[in-house]
Structures are given as structure tokens and as C-alpha cells.
């Protein structure tokens, strides 16, 4: 019996030595530790060899993906992409309508505003035969007008109350206008408004800058928001406005 036991021990030692030798060819493998979560014993956690016998960082299985959260993020990305595409699809304003200082000979005093509707320009008369020129949008065919008025009121981020005639006219086209819209970036009157005499006409900004240079309004003179803000700061109530 003693001889048989020694034989079996030697045999086991040889097998283990042989196995160790085979494993050595592939490098040291990290130990596998069973998950402490006994409800899911098939889940394993691996430690690096350097920390196998110490307090190392355990590499845990990745958390389950919240599909609803991922779906929301993807939806937001799609919406942002559509908004970006819409902005890119909008036509650019012709650069000839950007503000500039030009020679302009006139008998009118500096500070006067002259609006050349056929050529889509607004001139703010300066001294020494110069004028600050801005591009504008003017009345559509059938809505042109000419005359001389004074600025009677100025408004920051004006609200909008479309005239009854405009509401009725647009309704026939299948477009329903509100009776009132508070001032703000979405308001068609833009950032500033200069009211002309007792008329319904104004010089105002727009949230559609690409329309500058066109015959697009119901008689109002529209400017880029940047430009109407500048003009608003340069002129006051009582300023003479000549529309030709």
C-alpha cells in the first residue's frame, strides 16, 4: 500500500508539472474569481495578474444599456441635424446689401433717412456728402408707397398686431395669422421698430434676413436685425424719413 501511494503521488506530480509546463508557453493567466452575486453565478470578474494577490481594481461586467435613454439621445441628434440642415438651406443675403459708407450728394440735412425703394437701399445722411447705406426689403407689388414722414415712436423687440385687412387677406391664402404676437426672436418685426407718422408702416428688423433686397413686405421697410439696431441708436424721434 505504501509503495502504491508513492507511485500515485509521483504520477500526479508529473501530470501537474507537465500541465504547468504547457501553460508556461502561453504566459501567466489572470485568476478567475466567481461573482459574489449568487443570483447570477455565471457572471465572472477578472483581476489583472499584478493585483491578483492584493487589493486590485476589479473589472466588472458593463452595465445594461438603457435603450430608452439611447433612443432619446439619438432623437435629439436627429432633431439638431434637421435644424442645422434647415439653417444651411436658407439662402444667403446678397453682400451688396451689407452696410457701407458711400458718396451721396443731397440737399437734405445730416440725420435724414432716405429710402430708395426701387433699388432696395436706406440711406442715413452723414456730413460732407456721405451717407451710411443699408440694404432693405420693401413692399410687394401692390404695396409700394412713397411719402415723407417723421419717426414718432421707437420700440425694442416690438410686439406685433397684424391689421385686420392683413389677417383676412392671409386667411384667403390658407395662412392664419395671430391677432397678437409678443416681441422676441420669433417675431416678424425683429429686434427694433421705428414707427412712421400715424401710418401702419415701420422700419423694423426681421427674423428672415435672407429676404433683404426683395419686394417682400406689406409696405413696411425691413432691415437685418444687426442693421436696425445700429440705425435705432443713431436716430431719434422726429427724424425725417423720405420714401421714394
> Ramachandran region of residue 197, left (φ > 0), alpha (ψ -120 to 50) or beta?
left
Among 126, 117, 93, 110, which Cα is nearest to 201's? 117
**Catalytic residue status for 176:** no
**pLDDT tens by residue, 16-52:** 444 444 444 444 544 544 444 444 443 333 344 444 4
Question: What is the per-residue pLDDT for 162?
Answer: 85
User: What does the DSSP assignment read for 109-141?
Assistant: PTT-EEEETTTTEEEEE-STTEEEEEE-BEEPT
CATH class for the region spanning 97-243 = mainly beta
Q: Which of 53, 108, 176, 220 is catalytic?
A: 220
Strand pairing partners for 101? 132
**pTM of the full predicted structure?**
0.64
> Which residues have a Cβ under 8 Å from the Cβ of 160 and sit 6 or more positions away?
178, 180, 181, 183, 187, 188, 189
Catalytic position from the list 12, 53, 149, 204: 204
Q: Is residue 192 within 8 Å of 207, Cβ to Cβ?
A: no
- Confidence (pLDDT) at 165: 87
220 is catalytic: yes
User: 194: which strand partners?
Assistant: 154, 203
Q: Does residue 201 contact residue 220 with C-beta atoms inside 8 Å?
A: yes
H or E segment at 230?
Answer: helix 225-234
**First-to-final CA distance of the chain:** 126
Which whole number is the average pLDDT over 174-191? Answer: 92
Q: What pLDDT score does 170 carry?
A: 87
For 47-92, how does the pLDDT look when each residue is reduced to its tens digit (9 = 90+)? 444 444 444 444 455 555 566 655 555 555 454 545 554 455 567 8
pLDDT in tens, 127-180: 999 999 999 999 999 999 999 999 999 999 999 898 888 889 888 889 888 888
Amino acid at each position: 500500500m505504501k509503495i502504491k501511494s508513492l507511485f500515485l503521488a509521483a504520477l500526479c506530480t508529473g501530470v501537474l508539472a507537465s500541465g504547468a509546463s504547457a501553460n508556461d508557453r502561453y504566459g501567466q493567466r489572470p485568476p478567475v474569481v466567481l461573482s459574489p452575486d449568487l443570483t447570477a453565478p455565471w457572471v465572472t470578474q477578472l483581476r489583472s495578474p499584478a493585483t491578483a494577490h492584493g487589493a486590485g481594481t476589479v473589472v466588472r461586467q458593463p452595465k445594461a444599456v438603457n435603450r430608452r435613454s439611447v433612443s432619446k439621445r439619438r432623437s435629439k441628434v436627429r432633431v439638431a441635424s434637421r435644424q442645422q440642415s434647415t439653417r444651411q438651406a436658407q439662402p444667403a443675403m446678397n453682400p451688396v446689401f451689407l452696410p457701407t459708407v458711400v458718396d451721396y450728394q443731397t440737399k437734405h440735412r445730416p440725420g435724414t433717412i432716405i429710402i430708395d425703394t426701387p433699388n432696395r437701399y436706406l440711406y442715413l445722411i452723414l456730413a460732407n456728402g456721405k451717407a451710411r447705406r443699408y440694404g432693405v426689403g420693401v413692399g410687394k407689388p401692390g404695396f409700394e408707397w412713397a411719402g415723407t414722414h417723421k419717426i414718432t415712436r421707437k420700440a425694442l423687440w416690438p410686439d406685433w398686431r397684424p391689421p385686420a385687412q392683413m389677417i383676412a387677406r392671409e386667411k384667403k391664402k390658407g395662412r392664419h395669422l395671430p391677432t397678437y404676437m409678443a416681441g422676441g426672436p420669433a417675431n416678424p418685426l425683429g429686434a427694433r421698430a421705428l414707427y412712421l407718422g400715424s401710418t401702419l408702416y415701420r422700419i423694423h428688423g426681421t427674423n428672415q434676413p435672407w429676404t433683404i433686397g426683395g419686394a417682400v413686405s406689406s409696405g413696411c421697410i425691413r432691415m437685418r436685425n444687426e442693421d436696425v439696431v445700429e440705425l435705432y441708436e443713431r436716430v431719434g424721434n422726429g427724424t425725417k424719413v423720405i420714401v421714394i
